[in-house]
């Protein structure tokens, strides 16, 4: 296949950009002296994850047990399921471990820990459990100084489970856009997670792994003393949210949606394309950032960014392309019917999830379909 032969809309991966992003992050982790465990939820694609592993990643992070099952079948054994363990899912986790998967699961409450212990004892399984630490009030986890941390570790250890480590995710890093702020939140993430591990060890309990990570903090951290591994995911594609945060240029965004102009509203300065929110997703993550990119930033089919043109609105299968500021009254001449454009996404994870496969575009112009999977 070639780019010209693709039907639209289609999710494109610029393979050269993807490989550049993978190498950039892996080299960064090597310099900081930590292992790197990429989060594969961004792409859910075997070919992408293979490239990450080939570059030096050690194990993967997943957000669903289906991801764990799919990538274990493809040959990856070292997996962290980085979502609090819901007790009804423990049989699936057990099945993976019994098949030889080195699956680590997560708890952030005494109730969750007790459920894991009860199930583990019933099935004679010593689960490896990591305790989630809340370093920024962003989502879930236990504050580093909270006594619940030690209570969870004690329940697990006394119940016969293996307390493998602690992990944190500084999701609030997405709220910043200045390097000094990213450096600060990266240090907050590092120090909070290290403190949690030190408290567990001081109580006489094991805590070998200190796992942190988000794409912004991984790229901003000045040092990672006390950390053993980093997790990050969206870096492999990057997107407009990360561009607004300040960690990538638009020329590094490896994922785009190929679309075709199908009509115009010239008096409004609109071109209508065949990629709506079913192709781009409903994610409007740039809406509260320093620049709102609507539903995406418009490029020529070649990938050249047209900085003033956005997908300004979207219906299910229709997208509206328009110019920021003054309407382009000559848009019909600029983008005639049949013109093919690429749209850079707000959020690579959400846009990728709209498509059953990526179309991987190599430097020589050839295109190969890379399947991705859905579900939980």
pLDDT digits (tens, 9 = 90+) for 235-282: 999 999 999 999 999 999 999 999 999 999 999 999 999 999 999 999
pLDDT digits (tens, 9 = 90+) for 307-328: 899 999 999 999 999 999 899 9
Nearest to 106 by CA among 75, 139, 57, 73: 139
Nearest to 149 by CA among 124, 112, 179, 117: 112
Task: Give the whole-angstrom CA distance, residue 189 versus residue 201.
Answer: 19
Identify the pLDDT of residue 58: 97
pTM here?
Answer: 0.96
Identify the pLDDT of residue 307: 87
Every domain range in the chain assigned CATH 3.20.20.10: 33-236
Identify the pLDDT of residue 254: 98
Any idea which residue has 């509206």 for tokens? 320
Per-residue DSSP letter, 88: G
Average pLDDT over the chain reads 97
- As assigned by CATH, the class of the 254-371 domain is mainly beta
Q: Going by DSSP bridges, is the β-strand pair 305-314/297-300 parallel, antiparallel, or unpaired? A: antiparallel
The residue ranges of the chain whose pLDDT is under 50 are: none
Every domain range in the chain assigned CATH 2.40.37.20: 254-371
- As assigned by CATH, the class of the 33-236 domain is alpha beta
């Amino acid at each position: 296949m070639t780019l010209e032969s693709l039907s639209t809309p289609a999710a494109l991966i610029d393979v050269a950009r993807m490989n550049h992003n993978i190498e950039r992050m892996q080299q960064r982790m090597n310099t900081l002296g930590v292992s790197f465990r990429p989060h594969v939820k961004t792409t859910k694609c075997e070919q992408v994850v293979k490239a990450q592993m080939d570059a030096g990643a050690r194990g993967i992070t997943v957000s669903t047990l289906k991801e764990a099952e799919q990538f274990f079948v493809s040959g990856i054994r070292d997996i962290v399921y980085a979502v609090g363990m819901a007790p009804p899912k423990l049989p699936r986790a057990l099945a993976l471990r019994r098949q030889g998967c080195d699956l680590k699961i997560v708890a952030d409450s005494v109730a969750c820990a007790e459920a894991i212990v009860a199930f583990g004892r019933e099935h004679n399984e010593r689960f490896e459990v990591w305790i989630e630490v809340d370093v920024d009030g962003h989502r879930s986890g236990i504050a580093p100084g909270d006594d619940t941390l030690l209570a969870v570790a004690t329940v697990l250890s006394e119940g016969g489970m293996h307390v493998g480590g602690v992990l944190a995710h500084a999701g609030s890093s997405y709220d910043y856009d200045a390097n000094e702020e990213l450096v600060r939140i990266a240090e907050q993430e590092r120090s909070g997670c290290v403190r949690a591990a030190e408290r567990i060890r001081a109580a006489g309990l094991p805590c070998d792994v200190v796992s942190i990570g988000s794409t912004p903090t991984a790229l901003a951290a000045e040092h990672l003393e006390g950390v053993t591994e980093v997790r990050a995911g969206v870096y492999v594609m990057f997107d407009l949210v990360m561009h607004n945060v300040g960690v990538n240029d638009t020329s590094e965004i490896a994922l785009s949606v190929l679309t075709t102009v199908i009509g115009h509203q010239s008096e409004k300065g609109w071109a209508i394309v065949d990629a709506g929110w079913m192709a781009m997703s409903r994610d409007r993550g740039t809406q509260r950032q320093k620049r709102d990119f609507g539903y995406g930033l418009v490029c020529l089919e070649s990938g050249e960014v047209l900085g003033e043109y956005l997908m300004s609105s979207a219906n299910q299968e229709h997208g509206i392309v328009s110019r920021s500021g003054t309407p382009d009254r000559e848009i019909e001449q600029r983008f005639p019917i049949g013109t093919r454009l690429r749209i850079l996404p707000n959020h690579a994870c959400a846009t990728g999830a709209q498509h059953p496969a990526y179309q991987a575009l190599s430097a020589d112009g050839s295109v190969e379909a890379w399947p991705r999977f859905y579900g939980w």
